[in-house]
Amino acid sequence: MRMLIPAFLMWVAQSVPAFGQELVVQQPVVGTILLSTTVAVPDRGRIFLGGVSSGQSGRSRFGFGQPGSSLGWSRSSSSMSVGVTVIDLHEMDEAILSSASNQPEPGSRYSRHAAAINGSRSESPREPTRDVESLAERAAKFERLACKAEAEKHSGVAKLHWQMAAKYGSATAREKLR
């Protein structure tokens, strides 16, 4: 018991903060710039919208006879620019869903990109190499892909294919999704 009391007193003495400790609290400096404008920026483009700068200076003199002086300067600036990347989620979905057949949608940015990577000649979006598929053909294509995915036990992929088939007017796909 005699050893326990001094140990307890030492623990209390260490856990109490010492008086006169210096505590520094830093607060953030927050500035706001508001801008209301409309600009046209191309895909993957960047535009500088504007900026604001300010400066301050001060000088103080003190003392008698040969006075001393101090000089202080402060400058700040803020600017605003915008970078744009257009992400076409519909086109990406089409590319992913048609990847089961390893053929991206013809004329899409992704098929041109894949052709450039593979070293083949990319097709021009203004000069398609084949006729555009009808809605019924697209629905049938997605039905085939859905059946193939179900056979391979990829239920999530199959559901996406059934949804795309239903989107293009497949009654079978609508029934399957119910």
Residue 143 has pLDDT above 80, yes or no: yes
Question: What is the model's pTM?
Answer: 0.33
Residue 6 has pLDDT above 50, yes or no: yes
What DSSP line would sit under 122-175, residue for residue?
A: PPPTTS-SSPPPPHHHHHHHHHHHHHHHHHTT-HHHHHHHHHHHHHTT-HHHHH
**47 or 103: whose pLDDT is higher?**
47
Kindly report, residue by residue over 99-121, the tens digit of the pLDDT.
755 554 555 555 555 555 444 44
Here the tokens at position 44 are 């993957």
Residue 25 has pLDDT above 90, yes or no: no
Average pLDDT, the chain: 76
Torsion of CA 145, 149, 151, 152, to 10 degrees: 140
Torsion of CA 91, 92, 97, 102, to 10 degrees: 100
Kindly report, residue by residue over 65-84, the tens digit of the pLDDT.
777 888 888 888 888 899 99
Predicted local confidence at residue 110, as pLDDT: 53
Predicted local confidence at residue 124, as pLDDT: 46
Q: What is the mean pLDDT of residues 133-139?
A: 82
Kindly report, residue by residue over 29-46, the tens digit of the pLDDT.
777 778 888 888 888 899
DSSP conformation class of 66: S
- Written as one letter, the residue type at 170 is S
Residue 52 has pLDDT above 70, yes or no: yes
Predicted local confidence at residue 120, as pLDDT: 47
